[in-house]
Amino acid sequence: MEPAYRGLGRCVCCFWLAVAFDVVGLLVLLLGVFVDVFFYDLLIYAGAIVIFLSLVWWVFWYSGNIEVLSAELEDDVGLTKKDKGGIGKVVRRLSNRLAGSIRSSVRRNGAAATGSFSRQGGGGRRSAAHVAAAPHLEQVVVALATLKPIDERLHTCGSSVDNDDVEMPSTATEGAPT
Determine, yes or no, domain membership for 43: yes
Determine, yes or no, domain membership for 78: no
CA angle in degrees (0–180, nearest 5) for 113-117-119: 125
Determine, yes or no, domain membership for 57: yes
Distance set, CA 151 to CA 108, 144, 146, 174 (Å): 63, 21, 15, 33
Max Cα separation, the chain? 100
Determine, yes or no, domain membership for 54: yes
pLDDT tens-place values along the chain, 178 residues long: 566 777 888 889 999 999 999 999 999 999 999 999 999 999 999 999 999 999 999 999 999 998 877 777 766 666 555 555 678 778 888 888 888 888 888 777 765 555 444 444 444 454 544 445 555 566 777 777 777 767 666 555 555 555 566 666 666 566 656 5
Q: List phi, psi (to 5°) of 134.
A: -110, 85
Determine, yes or no, domain membership for 178: no
Determine, yes or no, domain membership for 163: no
Determine, yes or no, domain membership for 125: no
Residue 34 makes CB contacts below 8 A (sequence gap 6+) with none
Its domain, for residue 22, covers: 12-66
Determine, yes or no, domain membership for 18: yes
98 HSE (CA, 13 A, CB side): 6
Q: Count of domains in the chain? A: 1
